[in-house]
Amino acid sequence: MKQKNNGNWVSWNENLKHNYKTMFSITSEEELQEVIANNKKIRFFGSKQSSADIAAGTEALINMTAYNKIVSYDYNKKTITVQSGLILSELLEAVESVGWCIPCLPDINTITIGGALATGTHGTSGKLLSEYMTECRLILADGSVKTITQEDELIDAVRVSLGMLGVMSTITFQCEPEYILHVKEKPESDNEWLPKIKSRLKKHDFLRILWLPHTDKGYVITGDKISSEQEVIENKGPDYLKHRRTASKILYKYSHKFPWITAIANKILAKAFFSSKKEHKGSLYQATVTKSRGSTLELAEWTIALDKFPQVFEEIKTEINKWSNKSFIHIPMDVRFVYQDNSWLSYAYKQETVTMGCVSRNAATADTYEAFKSIEKIFLKHGGRPHWGKRFSAKDAQLSKVYPKWEAFKELRTELDPTNKFLNPYLTKLVNAKTLVHENA
């Protein structure tokens, strides 16, 4: 096993930095067990693409990314088992190569499987990625292995658990036969797309709305399953559309100093990049997941019950359009839909859910981006739940109000990790854990 000493851990957008004493790069389950058993405090990380400070901050760290093999396929059950440091793109390519798919995907393919599951990563018009997990081997704080299957009650606690109950070692996913989507994209005014959400969710297999703040418009993306032979006259829009992220970066360059610039920039960006209709076909992965991003950014995302979304949306719109407001928001706010589940820390725990992203194109000045604060305030007021991997400031007191199973999760965490081995300072505050005597030693 490789080991590095006395270094600096830096997240992908450089907003999080931590010194460490030892960083282990593991390649087998045995190594993972050994490192966990032999360290008093430890965190583990994948692609470091979370904005929340959940992946490092302890003296000992585990880099999971070399633990990245495909372990096995079960062709009868359509399942695939992988090591948790595997990058999502590699899992999806492996799954597609045998004619299968995972039917709900996030808009990023560079994250690790362990990181994705731990934070409740999701796509749209389906369930969280972790809901497609049928089995996992979890390394507990004492270094032992616990196999958790769909039959175990524990699975509802483990699916989304921020690496606070243990480290996921290998994971088995249930796949489905691959399908082809006919994707259509077009701009619509807010008055048009907002009332149509429920009917569109019934009608289409895929629905995503890129809301364009300060323009009164959204960009609606729908997808319908078609046979692979069906012809679609492809229209990918003008060639310059591929420069959207670069153009945004330039137009927003001084928006942290003069936030009102954002409103003007958004109108320009909406006209240039979100006014054409598009049409194409492909697998869910090929047709809907962004494969490369030119620059970093900072992200928050909040979620709310489907029925409450229209009210929350109107409140956000009113707030950000006030002249007294400093919460100008960069394009786009990604509106997606997640079906209810039973996972304790899932955004969609027992409710059909809408998720709404909030992006700052300028990661370095994210601390002064007022929108993150305003959005959080409005969502929390309505019982919204934050994305675990993104930026938010809510802690134990607020989270216990919006997650019915929050206290049960905390109890289980204390039982499985009685010495707080897996807690860094951020997570300690998040769950309001008591600092133990040995932690100050």
Per-residue contact flags (x/-) with ligand FAD for residues 263 to 282, judged by CB under 6 A? --------------------
Interface with ligand FAD, residue 102, by CB under 6 A: no
Among 114, 223, 259, 384, binds ligand FAD (CB under 6 A): 114
Q: Which stretch binds ligand FAD (CB under 6 A): 45-53, 176-184, 197-205, 218-226?
A: 45-53
- Between 159 and 184, whose beta carbon lies closer to ligand FAD? 159
Cβ burial 244-253 (10 Å sphere, 16+ → b, else e): beebbeebbe
Interface with ligand FAD, residue 162, by CB under 6 A: yes
Interface with ligand FAD, residue 60, by CB under 6 A: no
Among 25, 33, 39, 50, binds ligand FAD (CB under 6 A): 50
Q: How far apart are CA 54 and CA 63, in angstroms?
A: 14
- Tokens 């000493």 belong to residue: 5
Interface with ligand FAD, residue 431, by CB under 6 A: no
Residue 234's contacts (CB-CB under 8 Å, 6 or more residues apart) are 279, 280, 281
Q: Which stretch binds ligand FAD (CB under 6 A): 114-122, 237-245, 263-271, 432-440?
A: 114-122
Q: Which stretch binds ligand FAD (CB under 6 A): 108-116, 150-158, 261-269, 394-402?
A: 108-116
Residues 283-312 that bind ligand FAD (CB under 6 A): 293, 299
- Closest distance to ligand FAD from the beta carbon of 318 (Å): 27
Among 9, 26, 46, 104, binds ligand FAD (CB under 6 A): 46
Residue 189's contacts (CB-CB under 8 Å, 6 or more residues apart) are 216, 217, 218
Among 18, 48, 184, 410, binds ligand FAD (CB under 6 A): 48
Interface with ligand FAD, residue 23, by CB under 6 A: no
Interface with ligand FAD, residue 112, by CB under 6 A: yes
Interface with ligand FAD, residue 218, by CB under 6 A: no
- Written as one letter, the residue type at 139 is I
- Closest distance to ligand FAD from the beta carbon of 52 (Å): 8
Which tokens hold the place of 369? 């981006």
- Written as one letter, the residue type at 85 is G
- Between 328 and 347, whose beta carbon lies closer to ligand FAD? 347
Q: How far apart are CA 383 and CA 400, in angstroms?
A: 11
Q: Which stretch binds ligand FAD (CB under 6 A): 47-55, 74-82, 140-148, 368-376?
A: 47-55
Among 108, 145, 241, 263, binds ligand FAD (CB under 6 A): 108
Interface with ligand FAD, residue 45, by CB under 6 A: yes
- Closest distance to ligand FAD from the beta carbon of 236 (Å): 21
Interface with ligand FAD, residue 168, by CB under 6 A: yes
Contact yes or no for 266/331 (Cβ under 8 A)? yes
- Between 286 and 321, whose beta carbon lies closer to ligand FAD? 286
Q: Length of the chain, please?
A: 441
Among 25, 33, 47, 130, binds ligand FAD (CB under 6 A): 47
Among 57, 103, 163, 259, binds ligand FAD (CB under 6 A): 163
Among 33, 58, 121, 303, binds ligand FAD (CB under 6 A): 121
Which tokens hold the place of 314? 């109107």
Among 18, 43, 127, 421, binds ligand FAD (CB under 6 A): 43
Q: How far apart are CA 268 and CA 229, in angstroms?
A: 38
Interface with ligand FAD, residue 122, by CB under 6 A: yes
Interface with ligand FAD: number of residues (CB under 6 A): 32
Q: Which residue is nearest to ligand FAD (CB)?
A: 115
Among 57, 103, 106, 386, binds ligand FAD (CB under 6 A): 106
Residues that bind ligand FAD (CB under 6 A): 43-50, 54-55, 64, 84, 106-108, 111-112, 114-116, 118-119, 121-122, 162-163, 167-168, 293, 299, 387, 389
